[in-house]
Structure formats: structure tokens, C-alpha cells
Structure 1
């Protein structure tokens, strides 16, 4: 046997080195998609870090559709942390259990029916003119200076400002609301909290709730054309949101919408700069703006992972999963699955993106999806009317403060 043949035989005899899913590594946060691709191909469903990791689109969709796999895992983790730190029955726990993101039926169905009215396309139409004005204002400074950090100068402040406008909060509260919301982000990743984090979150939540309670009381006395006034007036078959539910709805509008929308805007612009042919196509055909946003959601999914808890024994892709086990759904991987999206690693603004899971699916599908899409469309649409974008001098960097959100920490852009 020749030396070449022996070498080939030796390589063939070696067991396949399976990739390791480690969302905590800096390398994975920078470029997760190579690992996702290897996992989908060779190890699509496996147990690591005490949970089942699901990477293929069909399997992720199967769990999202299965009502026995519920979202109560986050409130349970908050409970566990509260017990560890001696803070049982804290408001943070009630926020977790009453947030529409994590509730199960019948509570979820009740809250969803009420909230769907407030977040309808017709209700959001009233925000279009203020939204476009905010985009114009934020971009004006960048145009004057010939460039800006898209994240700090546009993607981060826009979601906060439009939500404050909708809720009816004054501009002098922007910085405070931003700080409070950032602190409470641990609700989405409670397992990362140490005792100091829990104490800080609890103190912030007390201030957040007290402030919003005052605002709600003011709106009861003197209603306006804002979200709180609409929620106060909202009823379905005689059912209304109580005071604490109103407060929690407002808080979760900021917590769930700020970081992911910031991510979507930054990721979409980054993708266009990374794919100049697609950017030129969009300049030639601005009617593809909505398609470019949908492709950005698929290609650089803001919320990369979401968790579910199996409440019964089940079998997924031939693998038994026991009741009580945790399931991590890799939305970012599902959206790059070649079995669903042809040439999935390519960024293609003409692609038919139906079936992407960036906003989840089913009863826990993102309530604020339409608002996030409209913000990204308004930004990209306005950028197309200005001077062309060019990549700035500093290389883009990915944030490391969250392990479930894929978002740029900075993106320097110049205007030609």
C-alpha cells in the first residue's frame, strides 16, 4: 500500500470530531454559523450544558408548535435565583410570571387577545410619522459629520425613543428608562445573575414600577393618545388589565423590544455593507426594502436562542426527551438550514424568506414583530435617500453582554 493510500486510510479510520456548542466562547459569538452548520449536519440534536440543543429548522419548528413544550422555564429560573438569594416573592418573580413572553394558557391567551388589539397594524400606523421624524433627526448629525457609529447613533436610541413616545413618556426620561431597561435585561437570561445582579434588578424594578404607576394614574385622570391610555381603555368581553399587569406590559415592551430591534437595525446595515452587490441592488430597487429586512432577520437573527421546558416525555428526531428537561432552540441555526433555504449562507434580499423563525412561531411569536420591522424599514428606506454608505475605519465588533442576542457593539459608517 502506498504512503498516500495509507494516509487516506488512516484519516478515514479516525472518528469524526463533532463540533462543540459553546455560546460562552468569544469565537462562537463572533462567528457561530460554521458551528451551526456542522451541528445540523453531524449532531443536530444533542445534550450539552444540561439541556438539549436543537439546530435544524424542522426540529425547532416542531418544538415551537408543541404546546407541551412551554416557556415557563424562565420564570422557574427566576424563582430558583430568588430562593438562592433569599428574595422569594420579589416583584421580579411576578414580572416573569406575568410577562406575555413567558406565560402559558389560560393566562397567555387572555393577555394575547388584549394585546393583539393594541399592537395591530392599524394601531401602529399612528407611529409611522413620528418614527420617520426620529430617523431623520438621528441621521442628520451623521450626515453633517460624514459618518457615525450606526449602533450608538441610530440603532440603540431609535427603539427607545419610539417606545417612549408611544407610551407617552417625556424626553427627559429617556436616559433613565434606558438604564432601567438595561438592568432588567437579566429577565431574559436569569441563570447569569449573581446575588448583586439580583439585588440591583430588584431595586431598579421597584423604581420602574413606582414611576409607571404614577404615569398610569395620571392617564386615568387625563387620557392621551398614547399606549397607556389605550391599554386603560382596552377591554374584551368585560376583561381589562389590572394596574400591575399594565405596569408589566409597559416594562416588557421596553425589555423585549429595545435590544432585539437595535440588533436588527445594526445587523441589517452590516449585512448590506458586507454584500455590496446586494446594497447596489437595493439602491436600484428600493421596493426591496421590506425584503432586505426579512432577509436580515433570517441571515443575522437578533434572538439566536430561546428555551422551552418539556412537560411530558417526547421523541424528537428519534431521540427521547424526558419531562422536565430543558430544550434550547437555536433560531439562528434554523434560519440557516439548507433544507429550508437554498444557498442559506448567502445574503439575498430577493429571497423568499417565508418560514424564517426570527420572531419565533405560534402562541409565543413576538408580539412586537411588526413594530421592529417598521423601524428597520424606516431606517433603511431613509438611508437609501441619502449619500451612499461606506464601511468606516474601525472594524465592526459584536457585543458580549448577552449570550442569546446577536448584536453589534459598534459599526462605523461613512457617507460618501
Structure 2
């Protein structure tokens, strides 16, 4: 009799965030990775998929957030791009990419302006913009959630909050689209780099002019408040730091808010029982946003740089190693969330990591939540049924860290 040996070693899972299959649905691969290789090295970095490991890295301040600016500089060198001073300063002085003590200083000043109360006061503004954007599409009986609502809404809200002049508002969207390359420097080609450099200079010059006008005639807008923010010791943001805060509000907040709204509406379309519940109880809009952030978060992946040697799940992470933390995988971890693959508006609030964790928790998270909440309220207050008008979903392919749709055409039926 032949005895067959059993190999307890789980089969190796190939992690490929660039594949079409992963873009369509990354969650089966996340599950395989969590079960077979929760901490493994591939593509020149460590990949983490369990909630506890991801949260631990985000909480541990010895993991640096300054990796992206370094990669931008290295990519510029490889591509022979030398006039990148403004881009390098944008990276070094952006909240997203700074470590302490610079981060603590910048965050302390900016937090004086980005308060929960200040964001809550924007609700009438956000609601008015959403209604204006939807009115024409509503009359036509159909709408593309992405192009008609989710994409223009965050840009319009920020432009209005900053009280930008019309000439600048018209250019902010294209500028933001180009600068987003800086978040994924490995994807930048030579032509892209030249364009990004030029756009950053154009954007900064336009904002310089706005700042000069606000210093002369301050108002209740975001820029005036940033200029006025001051610590007890008298420290203030420099003009360039204010410019960089404003630019990164668009770069970091536009694509993610757009995807949050789109992913949420798609989840509701795919779960008609939850959509019906939201229609009956519009006060669940906030819960719908929270569940979307857990179930299908816009920012799926983010990187950190280890600055010391340490072990994670028995694996030795060395100082200088890059670590990719999979937020989308962590948010479906059954060790933390019951029935993680179900979309449930009545789920008890959990510790999702869609906005990161620790000192680099998303500055604009409250504003993104507000805009998605208003969008869900509007759609499900005005319509008894929303129906998807396509059999083929088109997922964006210009970023591998953000998960979102290029379009989401739906039919609206007026509830009367």
C-alpha cells in the first residue's frame, strides 16, 4: 500500500495588484493571502494583509511615511529629470509624507482649521452643490454616478471652501489629475514627469496669487483660516506650506472621495435589500458610508519604510525594507469583522482602516464622509429604485492603490 504524504505547507499565492482580475475584485486574493501568506515578500517589498499587522505598522512611528518623496526623487534621477525642486518640497512638506517632528508641527497647525465643527458647517454647501450637479441628469431620467456626481463634487466643494477665483477653478480638475502621479512614482514615465513638474509650478503660482489676495482681504474661507492659524508660541504656516496643504487637499481627497461615492452606490445596487433599507431609513446614510469604507475602501494600499529591524509573524523586517499594507484586505479580516464579505448597514461600528490609523490618519476623512453621506441621502431620498444600466463595469486603471470606477450609469425612478 502506498502512503501519500500530506504537505501542510499552503500553496504560494501570487500577489499581482496590476492584473485585470485583481482590479475587478481583489478580495478573493486578499483572503488567500491572509490564510496562506499573511506576511510575505514579493515585488521588492513586504506585503501585509491581516488587520492586526496592518494596524500595527500604521500605528508604529518607526515606520516612515516619507518613502514616496524618496521614490519620486529616485525616479526623477533615473529619468534624467533635474528641475524637480518644487515637487521635492511638496513631498517633504506634505502631511501625507512627513514624519515627526515636521508632521506634528504641520498637523498641529492644520488641525486648528480642519475641525469637526468646520466640516459639519459645510453640509448645506455640499448638499447644494450635489443638488445642482444632479438636477439636469435627474430630469433626463438617468445619470452616471461617477461623471455627473462623484467626480465633480469634491472638486467643487474644495473650490468653494477655498473661495477660489473662477479662472483657477476651471483648471483645478485637470491639474489634480496630472499631479496624482506623484502618489505612485513607479508609474511615472519621462513625459509624465515633465508634465507634473509644469503643472505643480502652474498650480503653485495660481495659489500664490490667491494667498496674496487673502492676506490683503481675509475672509471666512479655508485659505484665510490656514493663513491665520497660529500656535500659542506664535508658529504659523509659511505661504508655501499653505499652498502645499491646498494642493494636497485636491490630490489626496479628489480621487478617494469620488471612489468612495461610486463604490458605495455600487454596493447598494448589488444589495437591493440594503438599498431598500436605506430608502426607508435615510438616517442610515452615515452607516452606509462607514460600511462602504470597510467593505470596499477607495484607498486599498499604502506604503511605509521600516527604519529599524523587527519581526512580524516570525518574518524579519529589516531597516530600509519597504512595507505594503493592504487596507482593503485588513477591512475584510474575519478575525475582526463578523461576516466580512457581507455588506450590512446595520453592522456594529468596527475598526476599519480605510482612513489609515495613528498619526497619519486621513486629515480629510470627515469631509469625504460628509460628501458621500450627502450623495447617498440625495439618491435614495429621490428614488424608489436605482438600476445599473450596464453589464460591464469599467474600473479605473491609472492607479493601483485606489479602487474606483470610471463610470457607473444608473437609471433613476422618481419616488414622487
The reply to whether TM is greater than 0.5 is yes
Q: Give the corresponding residue for 2:32.
A: 38
After alignment, is 210-219 or 174-183 more displaced?
174-183
3-state SS in 1 of match to 2:111? helix
Q: Give the corresponding residue for 2:252.
A: 256
Hey, what's the Cα distance between the residues in 2 that align with 1:247 and 1:13? 58
State the 1:128 CA deviation: 1.5
State the 1:15 CA deviation: 6.5
Contact 1:63/1:69 (8 A) holds in 2: yes
Are 2:194 and 1:194 aligned? no
Which consecutive unaligned segments of at least 5 residues does structure 1 have?
Answer: none
Q: Give the corresponding residue for 2:402.
A: 405
State the 1:353 CA deviation: 3.1
Hey, what's the Cα distance between the residues in 1 that align with 2:388 and 2:309? 52
After alignment, is 367-376 or 381-390 more displaced?
381-390
Hey, what's the Cα distance between the residues in 2 that align with 1:357 and 1:11? 41
Q: Give the corresponding residue for 2:231.
A: 236
After alignment, is 364-373 or 283-292 more displaced?
283-292
Are 2:280 and 1:284 aligned? yes
Which consecutive unaligned segments of at least 5 residues does structure 2 have?
Answer: none
Contact 2:84/2:197 (8 A) holds in 1: no
After alignment, is 147-156 or 137-146 more displaced?
137-146
Contact 2:269/2:388 (8 A) holds in 1: no
Question: Of residues 103, 110, 114 in structure 2, which corresponds to 1:115?
Answer: 110
Alignment of structure 1 residues 376-395 onto 2, 5 Å: 376-395=372-391
3-state SS in 2 of match to 1:358? coil
Question: Of residues 114, 129, 132 in structure 1, which corresponds to 2:127?
Answer: 132
Hey, what's the Cα distance between the residues in 1 that align with 2:390 and 2:145? 12
Hey, what's the Cα distance between the residues in 2 that align with 1:88 and 1:144? 49
After alignment, is 236-245 or 45-54 more displaced?
236-245
State the 1:355 CA deviation: 0.6
Q: Any idea what the Cα deviations from partners look like across 1:317-346, whole Å, max 9, x if unmatched?
A: 111100000000000000000000011000
Contact 2:356/2:362 (8 A) holds in 1: yes
Alignment of structure 1 residues 342-357 onto 2, 5 Å: 342-357=338-353
Hey, what's the Cα distance between the residues in 2 that align with 1:189 and 1:242? 27
Q: Give the corresponding residue for 1:150.
A: 145
State the 1:225 CA deviation: 1.7
Q: Give the corresponding residue for 2:93.
A: 98
Contact 1:82/1:90 (8 A) holds in 2: no
Hey, what's the Cα distance between the residues in 2 that align with 1:112 and 1:122? 17
State the 1:90 CA deviation: 2.0
Contact 1:181/1:255 (8 A) holds in 2: yes
Q: Any idea what the Cα deviations from partners look like across 1:110-168, whole Å, max 9, x if unmatched?
A: 01011111110121233211111011111212210111110000000000000000111
Question: Of residues 2, 6, 15 in structure 2, which corresponds to 1:21?
Answer: 15
3-state SS in 1 of match to 2:112? helix
Q: Any idea what the Cα deviations from partners look like across 1:365-414, whole Å, max 9, x if unmatched?
A: 00000000000011111112202242232233211110000001111110
Question: Of residues 275, 283, 299 in structure 2, which corresponds to 1:303?
Answer: 299
Q: Give the corresponding residue for 1:267.
A: 263
Question: Of residues 238, 243, 247 in structure 2, which corresponds to 1:247?
Answer: 243
3-state SS in 1 of match to 2:95? coil
Q: Give the corresponding residue for 2:77.
A: 83
Q: Give the corresponding residue for 1:364.
A: 360
3-state SS in 1 of match to 2:324? strand
Contact 1:389/1:413 (8 A) holds in 2: no
Are 2:53 and 1:49 aligned? no
Hey, what's the Cα distance between the residues in 1 that align with 2:257 and 2:374? 12
Question: Of residues 133, 136, 139 in structure 2, which corresponds to 1:141?
Answer: 136
3-state SS in 1 of match to 2:311? strand
Contact 1:337/1:344 (8 A) holds in 2: yes
Alignment RMSD (CA, Å):
1.6
Contact 1:60/1:329 (8 A) holds in 2: yes
Contact 1:387/1:415 (8 A) holds in 2: yes
Q: Any idea what the Cα deviations from partners look like across 1:191-224, whole Å, max 9, x if unmatched?
A: 1111111111001111111100001001111112
After alignment, is 330-339 or 132-141 more displaced?
132-141
3-state SS in 2 of match to 1:399? coil
Alignment: residue pair count: 410
